Amino acid sequence: MTSLEELPLRPELRGRSAYGAPQLTVAHQLNTNENPHPLPDGLLADLGTALAEASRGLNRYPDRNAVALRTDLATYLTRTSGEQVGVDQVWAANGSNEVLQQLLQAFAGAGRTALGFTPSYSMYPVYCTGTSTAWVEGHRRADFTLDVAAAVAQVREVRPDVVFVTSPNNPTGTAVDLDTIAALYDATEGMLVVDEAYTEFARAGTVSALSLLPGRPRLVVSRTMSKAFGMAGLRLGYLAADPAVVEAVQLVRLPYHLSSLTQAAARTALAHTDELLATVEAVKAQRDRIVAELPALGLTSVPSDANFVLFGHVADSAAAWQALLDRGVLVRDPGLPGWLRVTAGTPEETDAFLAALGEVAPTHRLGGSGRASSRAEP
């Protein structure tokens, strides 16, 4: 077999391994923030019809501008945010991952810089590598909140071409207030991308950055159907911004990037928005239940506006992660010493997680009664 080293690979890719959370077959898969609720039967039936209909046209390329889908997405944003969002302000691609990559292709690249406030979504530096963009880690406080004055000062100093603000943040869970986002916008001459992948799960009173769009042409709000809509397998992400931003990403998108089947399936799912989002309140209730149960186990969490909880402190995150996996519960080790992230889903998943954690916590929590850094079993 040929080794990678023998290929004329770009030097900056040498020695790297492909990024990705483990896809393991375990009883309780709580590591990638999917929505575990089954899709409604009515949607499944309509998908069958819509995909069969769209299949008749598979000999033709899809609408490369996905106008009908973008119209439906604009309607969804307008209806749920109260902000008027037009079709010319919306762009869609294969997951928000592709949207965010297209933004870097258009606004960053060789000789340019992107900045995000870490710990944050681990894909941002990966898009930077792929687009030859320099990546700068912005700072947070020890409790993972953003210090707006420090963040503004850092943006003024680094002068990035793209700033990522993840709200609610992944892996920590907390939403960012609009004053902070507005201050960061004023501090940068580059693009400010607010990644709202989890916004539908935010606690009451959280306002989307969509309300900041008027008069801010360098602001982009990124959304996805992977989390609240429960359609991670569909691969559909989108952005809302000034129409000029949509023109910009059209300069770098591949022709016909969004298949006819994807466009048809996404439109069908959007027609079932209310049913799909009906599970959001149930997931939030499980999130709040996890948060409420942690102190009794001697653990704590970071305030969450998302469908996951970052919990700690454990003495050895890798050992605690393995001990939970040994009990059939797969959580995420985000590489933050002392912390692990668990997805909130069904009541049964919460039961399983809390039961496993109840066995694991005495051994693994900081200052626990057991041998803090040792494995729970061989």
**Site for ligand PLP contains 200 (CB under 6 A):** no
The single residue among 97, 172, 268, 279 that binds ligand PLP, judged by CB under 6 A, is: 97
Q: Which stretch binds ligand PLP (CB under 6 A): 66-74, 176-184, 225-233, 337-345?
A: 225-233
Instruction: Select from 96, 115, 72, 97 the least CA-distant residue to 263.
Output: 72
Q: Which is nearer to ligand PLP, 154 or 222 (CB)?
A: 222
Token pair 């970071």 is found at: 302
Q: Quote the DSSP letter at residue 294.
A: G
Q: How far is the CB of 198 from ligand PLP (least distance, A)?
A: 7
Q: Which of residues 33-72 bind ligand PLP (CB under 6 A)?
A: 33
Instruction: Select from 200, 266, 192 the least CA-distant residue to 228.
Output: 200
The single residue among 36, 237, 334, 345 that binds ligand PLP, judged by CB under 6 A, is: 237
Yes or no: say if 222 and 96 are a contact pair by the CB < 8 Å rule. Answer: yes
Q: Which stretch binds ligand PLP (CB under 6 A): 110-118, 141-149, 224-232, 359-367?
A: 224-232
* Chain residue at closest Cβ approach to ligand PLP: 95
Q: Which of residues 342-361 bind ligand PLP (CB under 6 A)?
A: none
The single residue among 167, 224, 307, 363 that binds ligand PLP, judged by CB under 6 A, is: 224
The single residue among 76, 107, 121, 311 that binds ligand PLP, judged by CB under 6 A, is: 121
Distance, in Å, from the CA atom of 66 to the CA atom of 99, rounded to the nearest integer, reads 14
Distance, in Å, from the CA atom of 175 to the CA atom of 178, rounded to the nearest integer, reads 9
The single residue among 95, 116, 160, 368 that binds ligand PLP, judged by CB under 6 A, is: 95
Q: Which of residues 155-174 bind ligand PLP (CB under 6 A)?
A: 166, 170
Distance, in Å, from the CA atom of 115 to the CA atom of 337, rounded to the nearest integer, reads 22
**Site for ligand PLP contains 363 (CB under 6 A):** no
Binding-site string for ligand PLP from residue 129 to residue 148, where x marks contact by CB under 6 A and - marks none: --------------------
Q: Which is nearer to ligand PLP, 168 or 190 (CB)?
A: 168
Q: How far is the CB of 34 from ligand PLP (least distance, A)?
A: 9
The edge-to-edge listing of strands for the beta sheet with 340-343 is 300-301, 308-312, 340-343
Token pair 């409420």 is found at: 292
**Site for ligand PLP contains 96 (CB under 6 A):** yes
Yes or no: say if 73 and 196 are a contact pair by the CB < 8 Å rule. Answer: no
The single residue among 83, 195, 200, 305 that binds ligand PLP, judged by CB under 6 A, is: 195
Residue 243 tokens read as: 């129409």
Instruction: Select from 21, 45, 39, 19 the least CA-distant residue to 31.
Output: 21
The single residue among 29, 102, 133, 226 that binds ligand PLP, judged by CB under 6 A, is: 226
Q: Which residues pair with 297 in a beta bridge?
A: none
Across the chain, where does the E strand assignment appear? 28-29, 90-93, 113-117, 134-138, 162-166, 191-195, 219-224, 237-241, 300-301, 308-312, 329-330, 340-343
Binding site for ligand PLP (CB under 6 A): 33, 95-97, 121, 166, 170, 195, 197, 224, 226-227, 232, 237
